[in-house]
């Protein structure tokens, strides 16, 4: 059964792109009977005990990493220069708390500096600061102190400093990295829910590294798993704050998002048809999204080898790519249920409709 504790541990774990180790540790702790393998890109594969190589495989994808920063230099004042790992906006990071990993693997608290109003130029007051001007301050006063007493070096990953909270009254979760730890949790919960089922397909988990820097891990997971089908789980950006209700495609509390199109892929219609039917039959609410921009690992997976029908399911998450996100645990549960019931609904006629030979 789904448990908010799994999401809590995944959300609190540190996983800058290329540094997904802590997230992997949490997944391993919760993997149960699944067999796990890690590759040299820090992708993690989860195979069920009853894996049968003669059956077609559905790959369940989610990415392990979160938007983060990396130390690019240390100045003589003891401030850390930074490069983005994934897309941030300056106004979402200035004056926020982060954690920097030191050479012993410990995380040190730091503030991304902001100019007090006293020092802003008229231009800065009007147009804001530049990302390139922002630095992380760990409270040191010299380069030597940063390196010797804090043990922080160039190349160290930096992640948001946020502790998960859960409001049981309205089932709302508050935390960081719901993009995409909600997806990681959904992969684990879906695999466990289907473990004992006798299905015409294998269901394999592939938790990818480095999505936020350009869908890199999933390029390798798709090669390795070589799936016939795939489901990509995402903590998808909710548009509650940004769009009128009529144009919303991901409202928190209104169920999983089914993605028809974004800048990385166009959905497979047969998958969408199956999901719509399951949504009606099992009374699971869904929201439909046609996105102008954005992209998910589906962008890579659907182009693997001879082409892979991919379904993208998203749990709406407010304030993606910032420190603090809200998401509904009910939406999460419905997303897992939709995936489980859709996979259970797969039969021979579904499997045989994709490749067609003409006389």
To Zn ion, the closest distance from the beta carbon of 277 in angstroms equals 30
Which is closer to Zn ion, CB of 61 or CB of 179? 179
Neighbours of 35 (CB within 10 A): 12
Residues 186/244/66/185 CA torsion (nearest 10 deg): -10
CA 180, 158, 178: angle at the middle one, nearest 5? 15
Q: Is residue 124 among the annotated active site residues?
A: no
Residue 223: closest CA among 65, 16, 48, 43:
43
- Contact between 278 and 295 (Cβ < 8 Å): no
Which is closer to Zn ion, CB of 21 or CB of 179? 179
To Zn ion, the closest distance from the beta carbon of 339 in angstroms equals 20
To Zn ion, the closest distance from the beta carbon of 224 in angstroms equals 23
To Zn ion, the closest distance from the beta carbon of 262 in angstroms equals 12
CA 47, 276, 222: angle at the middle one, nearest 5? 30
# residues contacting Zn ion (CB under 5 A): 1
Please give the full DSSP string across 44-66, using - where no structure is assigned. Answer: EEEE-TT--TTS-EEEEEEE---
Query: Nearest-CB residue to Zn ion?
Result: 179
Q: In angstroms, rounded to a whole number, what is the distance separating the alpha carbons of residues 30 and 181?
A: 13
Which is closer to Zn ion, CB of 179 or CB of 189? 179
Q: Say whether residue 333 binds Zn ion (CB under 5 A).
A: no
Which is closer to Zn ion, CB of 7 or CB of 138? 7
Q: What mask of x and - would describe binding to Zn ion in positions 179 to 218, judged by CB under 5 A?
A: x---------------------------------------
Catalytic hit among 8, 9, 66, 211:
211
Q: In angstroms, rounded to a whole number, what is the distance separating the alpha carbons of residues 258 and 250?
A: 9
Q: Considering only residues 164-183, where is the footprint of Zn ion by CB under 5 A?
A: 179
Which is closer to Zn ion, CB of 30 or CB of 321? 321
Helix (H) or strand (E) holding 231: strand 229-234
To Zn ion, the closest distance from the beta carbon of 30 in angstroms equals 22
| Those residues with Cβ within 8 angstroms of residue 222's Cβ, 6 or more apart along the chain or in another chain | 59, 206, 230, 300, 301, 304, 305, 308
Which residues form the catalytic set? Answer: 211
Which residues of this chain interact with Zn ion, rule CB under 5 A?
Answer: 179
């Amino acid at each position: 059964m789904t448990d908010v504790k799994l999401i809590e541990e995944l959300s609190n774990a540190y996983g800058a792109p290329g540094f997904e180790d802590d997230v992997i540790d949490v997944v391993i702790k919760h993997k149960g009977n699944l067999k796990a393998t890690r590759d040299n890109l820090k992708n993690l594969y989860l195979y069920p005990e009853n894996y049968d190589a003669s059956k077609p495989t559905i790959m369940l994808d989610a990415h392990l990493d979160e938007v983060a920063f990396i130390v690019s230099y240390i100045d003589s004042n003891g401030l850390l220069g930074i490069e983005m790992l994934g897309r941030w906006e300056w106004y979402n990071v200035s004056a926020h708390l982060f954690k920097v990993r030191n050479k012993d693997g410990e995380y040190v608290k730091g503030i991304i500096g902001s100019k007090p109003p006293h020092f802003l130029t008229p231009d800065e007051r009007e147009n804001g600061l530049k990302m390139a001007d922002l630095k992380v301050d760990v409270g040191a006063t010299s380069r030597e102190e940063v390196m010797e007493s804090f043990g922080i070096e160039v190349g160290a990953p930096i992640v948001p400093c946020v502790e998960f909270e859960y409001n049981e009254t309205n089932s709302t979760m508050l935390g960081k990295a719901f993009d995409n730890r909600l997806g990681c949790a959904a992969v684990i919960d879906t695999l466990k829910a289907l473990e004992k089922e006798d299905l015409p397909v294998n269901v394999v988990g592939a938790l990818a590294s480095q999505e936020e820097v350009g869908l890199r891990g999933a390029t390798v997971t798709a090669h390795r798993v070589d799936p016939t089908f795939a489901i990509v789980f995402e903590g998808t950006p909710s548009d509650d704050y940004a769009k009128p209700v009529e144009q919303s495609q991901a409202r928190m509390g209104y169920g999983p998002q089914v993605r028809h199109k974004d800048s990385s892929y166009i959905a497979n219609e047969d998958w969408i048809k199956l999901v719509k039917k399951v949504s009606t039959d099992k009374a699971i609410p869904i929201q439909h999204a046609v996105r102008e921009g954005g992209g998910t690992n589906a962008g890579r997976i659907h182009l693997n080898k001879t082409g892979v029908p991919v379904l993208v399911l998203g749990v709406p998450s407010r304030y993606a790519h910032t420190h603090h996100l809200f998401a509904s645990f009910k939406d999460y549960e419905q997303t897992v249920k939709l995936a489980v019931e859709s996979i259970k609904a797969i039969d021979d006629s579904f499997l045989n409709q994709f490749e067609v030979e003409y006389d």
